[in-house]
Structure 1
Amino acid sequence: MAYKQLKETKLPPLKNKNGEVNHGAIRKKVYVEINGIKQGMIIESCDVQNPVLLFIHGGPGIPAYPLIQKSKLHLEKYFTTCYWDQRGTGMSYSDIGDNVTCVVEQLVEDLLAVTNFLRGIFHHEKIFLFGHSWGTLLEAFAVARKPELFHAYIASGQIGNQIESEKGTLAYLKRVAVKKRDKQAVKRMQPVHINKNYYKNKQYANVLWKYLKEYGGSMFHRNYSYAKLVLAYITCDAYDMREKINIARGMKNASLLLQHLSEIDLTKEIPALDIPVYIMQGAYDYQTTLEQANAFFNQLQAPKKISMPLRIPHTRLSLKRQDGSRK
């Protein structure tokens, strides 16, 4: 878990709601050599005395900061927040190799090294973790290995058994297609089946891309589009042009990570975590389903755990939610 700070660059300063510069705040881009690879992160804080939060992005391989910035979530008001780009994408772009098991183990080692770097520079014994989607997998393994480094496990888009999650997604799409009497969709979905190689199934990918957006259940819906997603990355002032290109280049690494995602079942591999656990899950999320987030949560042993289903509908159809209730 070796690390060595290489350089840091100041970014345009944080401003308050009146557009005035917050002179007590920090906003910088930091490069650190972590386990032999140059990796980058963005650190923001309105007050460095606030607790430290490490945001672990999903994707796999999709840095979160441009989307957080565009959505004006402003975590920096409450935490000294670090947005770390994982090995293989963005500020941390590199070829991650072809050994899937070692890749995930390496990413967990990287996460723990980033944790120790943040603990050192901000003089905190423990930090908070926030994992999103794929990031919850890395977060779970890191906390299971070194719980003494963390205050709490916070997650959204929680992974459970991803094969079962994909089966739930396909079942949802079929239900909506029948409800809408969309004969073309029903015909396209009929021959599609989910197995351990679902991430290689182009037929499923085509159905997923078209109908999850159309029917609701993905991040793309009537108020958010792929164009807005791309714009968030293009206009982000924290990334230079090469780093923006490297986000796209890093997509070639994603298939290796998706293979591992298809082979793991956190509901069996992580039976307990020794810190408080907080999971915020979209009730209408069919990229990482509520059913599988609940499966992980319900079997997990922890000193304290709270699950918060978030109900923001993406479709007007009166379908049953995953918990059986109706809109």
Structure 2
Amino acid sequence: MMKSLLGFVAAAFAALLVTAPAQAQGDDAYAPARAIVADLNRIVTPNGVQETFIATLGGAKQVVNVRGADRGNPILLFVHGGPGAVEMPFAWAFQRPWEDVFTVVQYDQRGAGRSYPLNDPATLAPTMTLDRYRDDAIELIELLQKRYGQRKVVLMGHSWGSFVGLAVALERPDLLHAYVGVGQGIDFREGEKVGMAWTRAKALAAGDRAAVAAIDALAPYPSSGPFTIEQADGWRKYAMPYGSLLYNRPPATTLYFEQPRLSPEYTEADRQAWGKGSAFTVTTLWPRLADVSFARTQALDIPIVFLLGRHDYTVPSPVAAAWFAKARAPSKTLVWFEHSAHMPMVEEPGLFFAALLRDVLPLTEDRP
């Protein structure tokens, strides 16, 4: 499954994970590999933390995973994308170096991943709005500060999670030392327009008339009319082979989406819940996001860092860069990853970690 894509493909790849031929061997086929990963990533430092717990946020139970070498380090809260594309089962592959300098927190948002079976979907559905996800994150930050006795918090939002993260930064800047946007979204309609135009141009250059016709047939989306996940999927399925998600890694040529099989945090049952939760979340939430936009937001009260893939057209990076150029903040830094699309923390993990050390960690020392 695709990690923090806009969610509609999340359901499709979650289904792939539980129906792939290897699954016929049973979950135990991957147990030895998961044990190796778990042991390699085990936190053994005296003041470290490695735990998973359930937090009730806004009345919804949500699974929280916390890992770090020193509880005295600043907290880095990762808000995953989608909606519904959880990051927890992928984090083992890139997050371990972060844990030496941050206490890193992953959580499965309401209706997603391991949190999905903990709540009644019918009860949850009316609550699924950007404001509620924002307030869930705020409640979690306050809980983490109390639980670990740590006031220093960096919020990192990725893809859909970057809308949530930016909303938190605007609503409660007092809780944060910095906001970090990865695959940053600014305006849903504008992002869809730019992504569709880029994909159509790629298809046209490749002589793929069927793709061009299919994209044209989506009109008047996204400018007007219904805002459905089927329409979003209608152009992204053509964009991905051109590298909108992973630069130079077409989906058919990579085992990237098999990583959750090796995650110590996710069982077969968790992966099945992930697929159901992704489908539920994107179907419920996507139509409510059409007019979500931060285009008119001009100022933030905390430092901001954008970490953008040059080739990202899943959530088009040119839209985020144009907004960033006009935004005002106590400090702001934009880092381009020249060989990345939507997943720079996976595509260029060394440079991504270097940016965290160089451009993000020092911001936690600016305030007591």
Q: Cα–Cα, structure 1 residues 299 and 42, in superposed 2: closer, same or farther, change >3 Å?
A: same
2:77–2:155 contact (8 Å) kept in structure 1: yes
- Letter matched to residue 299 of structure 1: K
1:186 to 212, 215, 230: 212
* Aligned ranges 1:225-304 → 2 under 5 Å: 228-251=255-278, 252-268=280-296, 270-304=297-331
2:44 to 16, 22, 26: 22
1:159–1:293 contact (8 Å) kept in structure 2: yes
Q: Which has the higher strand share?
A: 1
Determine what percentage of the aligned residue pairs are the same residue: 24
Rounded Cα–Cα distance in structure 2 between residues aligned with 1:226 and 1:89: 27
Rounded Cα–Cα distance in structure 1 between residues aligned with 2:287 and 2:265: 31
- Letter matched to residue 293 of structure 1: A
2:60–2:124 contact (8 Å) kept in structure 1: no
- Letter matched to residue 149 of structure 1: L
What's the secondary structure of 2:179's corresponding residue?
strand
1:50–1:80 contact (8 Å) kept in structure 2: yes
Rounded Cα–Cα distance in structure 2 between residues aligned with 1:14 and 1:208: 34
Please report how far the alpha carbon of residue 14 of structure 1 lies from its aligned counterpart in structure 2 after TM superposition.
Answer: 6.7
* Aligned ranges 1:53-92 → 2 under 5 Å: 53-71=76-94, 74-92=97-115
Q: Cα–Cα, structure 1 residues 273 and 84, in superposed 2: closer, same or farther, change >3 Å?
A: same
Rounded Cα–Cα distance in structure 1 between residues aligned with 2:42 and 2:292: 48
Deviations 1:129-180 (A, max 9, x none): 1100111111111111111110000110111112111111111122222222
Please report how far the alpha carbon of residue 72 of structure 1 lies from its aligned counterpart in structure 2 after TM superposition.
Answer: 5.3
Deviations 1:156-212 (A, max 9, x none): 011111211111111112222222233333343343323245642746633421x21
- Letter matched to residue 22 of structure 1: V
Equivalent position of 1:213 in the other structure: 240
Structure 2 residue runs without a partner (length 5+): 1-33, 342-368
Deviations 1:287-327 (A, max 9, x none): 1111211233133221111112221167xxxxxxxxxxxxx
Most deviating of 247-256 and 54-63:
247-256
- Letter matched to residue 131 of structure 1: G
Q: Cα–Cα, structure 1 residues 226 and 131, in superposed 2: closer, same or farther, change >3 Å?
A: farther
Equivalent position of 1:130 in the other structure: 156
Q: Which has the higher helix share?
A: 2
- Letter matched to residue 285 of structure 1: D
What's the secondary structure of 2:239's corresponding residue?
helix
Q: Cα–Cα, structure 1 residues 87 and 21, in superposed 2: closer, same or farther, change >3 Å?
A: closer
Q: Cα–Cα, structure 1 residues 145 and 15, in superposed 2: closer, same or farther, change >3 Å?
A: same
Q: Cα–Cα, structure 1 residues 245 and 227, in superposed 2: closer, same or farther, change >3 Å?
A: farther
Structure 1 residue runs without a partner (length 5+): 1-10, 315-327
Most deviating of 127-136 and 185-194:
185-194
Please report how far the alpha carbon of residue 40 of structure 1 lies from its aligned counterpart in structure 2 after TM superposition.
Answer: 1.1
> TM-score normalised to the size of structure 1?
0.81
2:114–2:270 contact (8 Å) kept in structure 1: yes
1:213–1:220 contact (8 Å) kept in structure 2: no
- Letter matched to residue 168 of structure 2: A
Q: Cα–Cα, structure 1 residues 178 and 263, in superposed 2: closer, same or farther, change >3 Å?
A: same
Please report how far the alpha carbon of residue 229 of structure 1 lies from its aligned counterpart in structure 2 after TM superposition.
Answer: 4.7
Matched, 1:172 2:194: no
Rounded Cα–Cα distance in structure 1 between residues aligned with 2:154 and 2:231: 40
